[in-house]
Structure formats: structure tokens, C-alpha cells
Structure 1
């Protein structure tokens, strides 16, 4: 093994990210020569229109980050202090902290051990009289089971805010993610499938949710009101024209990039299905389209001599394949959920959740065994996928060198 001083399997570089869509310089020069660099200019409005239409929605609100998109969407659908918001623990921390910044209480539901998305049955088990909303995350780009989630939500009168930060152009049963819930939230942060370095988008088909989100992101102004008229307690979460210009250029390549990822992911799944010790993610959902922000799968660590996934990833990386261990703990085991967040919630709501006392078995099993490949790997050529499978096989066959 390379990690033990041997020759790496691969020295060829993988595609870098971000990549250009092709028109960034031209569009940025247009902004530079204009007198509208910010405060909701024409490129922001064009981006909102085009991106929301691509995702099956009538309305879009471009904001500073995907993190802010989640917080504003929760507020727009009516989440208030003391409400409970059900979230998965296998996700980026913003999914949960978006509720906390609304002074609401995140409640963790377990995930499906085969898809790694939130389990609709666990959502139902965690509904109380205080539950106001649920945030299903399309983790890695694979859509959550939105029909089952909406069934639970409708029976309990819950709002649904989709966290589609990793799921640009993904679909569930042929319908774009973001259009299933009351609102959908996307991220344009540097690692995302299209990016302007930072940025976010709220999409919705509900005019009232749109108007509230628009007002909240624009210091409480009304969409058709006076400039110095403030109806809601909002903030400045506006996207600049610079970000919108870059994203409009990226939109031109978004579908092409998505198809390339899909093609390579199909071949990689075929290759990995024959690798002992690899447990592939369940993806054969009817009519689903995976955005493949991450190619996620699990390891049967008993086939790797019982070493942990971090050691396996280190060895595979040294072979020239950027395999990541991903999340290292469930969200509820993050240090901030031990004291600071319970302290804050107790002050605001009078209730002190014991997050560190939680035990969600599917989440903990996935955290211990799931590994990721970044979407940039899937932008390489078909034959490059063979190196991924070969590197994992090489590490498994020589796992004794890692002890």
C-alpha cells in the first residue's frame, strides 16, 4: 500500500472544482459596467426566475447562503419560538441550527439505513403537539421519500421545508426536488454542483410563503411596497449581482455536468457492486434522479480487517482516490449540542433537550461506515471510475498492512 511506503495506484489528477460554465467573465463585466452591483438587480431577478422554473416552482428568492435560505424559509412558513422542527442528524449542521436561529427546537429523527435520508416512520414517531415543521434533506443529492413524508406532514398539519442544498436538478418520481414541500432551499457554496463561492435560493409555489421570504430577506420590505416601508422583522440577506452573474453562467452547464455525473455514477455502481466489502446505497427509487453531489456508500469494515473507516479512507487517498470519511459523528453528538444549544433553548423556551443522550441506531451505523466521493470525481472520464474500484480493492486486499 502507498500508505505503507508502496507505489500509489494512481498519480493522475482528478477534475478540480469549481469549474467555469463559460460565460462568467462576460456577465461579470456587464455587472461591472452597470450601476447595479447589488440591492436586487436584473441578474438576481433573472436567476430567481430561471432557477425556480427549472425546479418546478413559480417563485424564487436569491439569498446570501444556503444556511440563510433554511432559516428564512422556516420563518416564512410560520415557525415561531418554542415550535419543534424535525430534522435528520446525518446532514450539515445548518439543517438543525436553522431552527435554533428561529428560537425553535430541532428534534432529531432517525434515517433510513439504506438511503441515508430521513425515515418517514421516525418522523411520525417524533411528532408532538409542538411540532410545526419537518426538514427532509436530500443527502448527497438523492431525493428523500417525499410522498411518505408529505403523508405524515398532512396528517399532522406540518410544514415541509426541503433541504436541497446538495440536490440541484434532482427529482423524485419525475418531479423536481424543492417543489414538493412548502418551500425548498438550495446552496451555491463553493463545493456545490453549481457555485458562486457562496449563495442560496428559496423556491416555492406558495405566493404567501414567497412574499414573506422576500420580505424577510430584504429588511422587512414588501415586494410591491415603498422603499422605506417595513412590514416584517427582516434582515439583509440579499444576493449581489456578482454572484448572480456567475450562477447564470453556471446554469448553462448545470444539466451537462449533471448528466456526466449520472453516467459515471452508473458505471461506478456497476464496478463497486463487484467489490467485496462495499455496500452500495439504495438508489432504485421510482422516477428518482440523483444529483450526485456526493457518491455515498458504506463499507463492511469486517472485510477490511476491522479497522475504522478513517483509516480506510486515508489509505485509499494515498492510492490517489479522494475518498472521504464524511460526517464523523451524528449532529446531536456535536459539542455545540451538549451545552450551548441546550442552554440557549432553555432560556428561550423553558425546555432543555438532552441531545447527547440520544441514540439513533441507523444514523450511528451510517456515520461509522459511510464514505463519500466528491462530485468532481464523477466529472472525470469513464475509465477513471475503474481506478476508484481498484484502489478500494487494493486497500481491502492489503488491509493487514494498516494495523
Structure 2
């Protein structure tokens, strides 16, 4: 009987019922008490999140915040994740503000490294010369006097305690930059052989992870990531995130979820153009993330949301399209996990997702835009 009734509702009456629910508070309350949300009624949701497409976003009551944001503006959403934890929110904001002066010198040092140590400025992996990466890789094996001169000067102009801490960071940073350049050298060398090899998503995943580790973010990537599950309207969904930003010392340990594809967005558009045989419109700057990737990434986030450092009300993410990085902030109502589990949604949107502009880690401009965000994310993890 239930299936029969559901079938009738999904055929001719959906439009009228949606209008009725949107116009009647009493009907909406009845919906909360026991009637499934119309947006996911009879919806065939793939049981594996990597098979999700963009049609699911509205059905899951997720609103994409319009606009083009810098990575740091997206990162600054973290107080929203703690809206229902006023004391913790105030304490965290105060600690982050207190550390501003301490991070200033470190920020300058990292910016110097992004421009002068990783001295690359390209837009596509195929444009990067092997010889140039090899030269930079060899230079970072030891503390090259010329390359690190400005950094050492900044250290000597600081007070003794800061010098001591930053000298150790300097040594660690040198090794992590060298690790990043090693992976980049491996990739460009594979690509520029007489018979170029196809690059895998795993190669770009490892490149991003090594870049993020420069800033002392802790990451674990597939295949060293387990399978997570959650329920949507009673149906179990499984997900294996590509990578996680994590602090294994804490019970609720996750700061961000990473989604990786080996293809640049422009290449995805060209492939779609080839298949559909029609002219692609000029890309809206807010739509630089592939639409299906958005939903698959949110599926990954939902699978681990219960493990968030902030509680189940927020999570950061990264969408990596080859070497282009987009920072993501996913904020929810405090009861959102229960809403998607039962399919009983309130009238208003109860989750929002915000995307930054894309930042290419092969370009100086792209790396600079990520420095402050990555450094402060590492600081935030320390305080959470």
C-alpha cells in the first residue's frame, strides 16, 4: 500500500503538493511529523556517492552560495560551524586572533618560499619544463644560500624565541618543499617522454597532498582511507574519500575532505562540447567546479560529517581539478544529519556550501592565494 500511494504522489500530485506545503505552516509541520520530504520521495539515489550527480543538491536541501570568494573568505566560515556552541566559538576566535602577530613572520616566509623557492609560474602540467623542476629540486636538497637569504634575514630580525621556533620550521619546510618538487618532477617527466604517459588521479592527489603538507597540514589519502557510510531517507550510502585532512590524536578528527580529478575544468568542458556537438557558453566564474564533482564531494563530506572537528554542523573541503584547487566550506543546521537520514526536511534550506575561486598551485598567484588559508587551517587544527 505504501508503495502504491508513493507512486500516485510522485506522478500527478507532486507539483500541487509542493505548493501546498510551501504555503501552509500547518501542512509543513505535518510533513515533519511523519510524511517523507517530497524532494527525495521515490528518488533513486545511487548507493555509492561517487556516482552522484548535480541533480541531488537541491533534493538534499543544499544551497550553493552564489559569488566568487577568495580562499581565505571561505576559510573564515569556521565560526558559522560553531553557531550553536557560543562559548567554544568565542574562545576559538580569540585564540586565532591572539596568534596573528606570531603568524605574520611565518606568513612572509611561506610567501617567499612560494615565489622564490618554488619558482614556477605555469597554468597547465604539460607546460612545465622538466629541466626547470629538476633544477629547483636539486636546489632544495640543501639550504641554498641565495634562495634562502631573505628568509634568514627575517629570522634574525625577530626575537629569540620566534627565531628558535622558525628555524625548526625552516628545516621542516625545506624538506617538504623538496618532497613536493620530487612529485612534480615525477609527473612532468612521465608526461614529456617521447611517448607521453597518461597521468592518473593518484598522481595529482599525491601532488596536492605534498603541497598541503608544506603548511604542516596532516593528510591521509586513498588507498589508505577507509569506507564511510551514512543514510539518506533510510538508504545506506557508502563513500571512500580521496583524501582527508585529519588529526588522529582527537576523537572527532576531521577538518576537510579532498576530492580529486585528473582533468582540468576546461578540458571537461571541451569533452562535453565534443560529445554534445554544441557551443559551450562562456563559463561563469562561480561555476569553475565541475557540477558532478560538487555533488560527489558533498556525498564524501556527508559520509564523514559525524567525525568533524567542529561537530556535525560544518566541514571544510578541497576540490582538486588536476593542479587547480578550490576551497570549500559546508555548513549545516544542527539537525541536518537527522534530516537526511529520515528524509524529513524543514521548509528552509538547511545546508549551504561555499566555493572559492580556483587557485593553480603551478602558478605564483595561485600559490600565494592559498598560503594564509593553509597556514591558518593548520593553526585552527591545533586549537580545535
Q: TM-score when scaled to structure 1? A: 0.24
Higher RCO, 1 vs 2 (CA within 8 Å, ≥6 residues apart): 2
Q: TM-score when scaled to structure 2? A: 0.25
Determine which structure has more spread, i.e. the larger CA radius of gyration. Answer: 2
More helix by share: 2
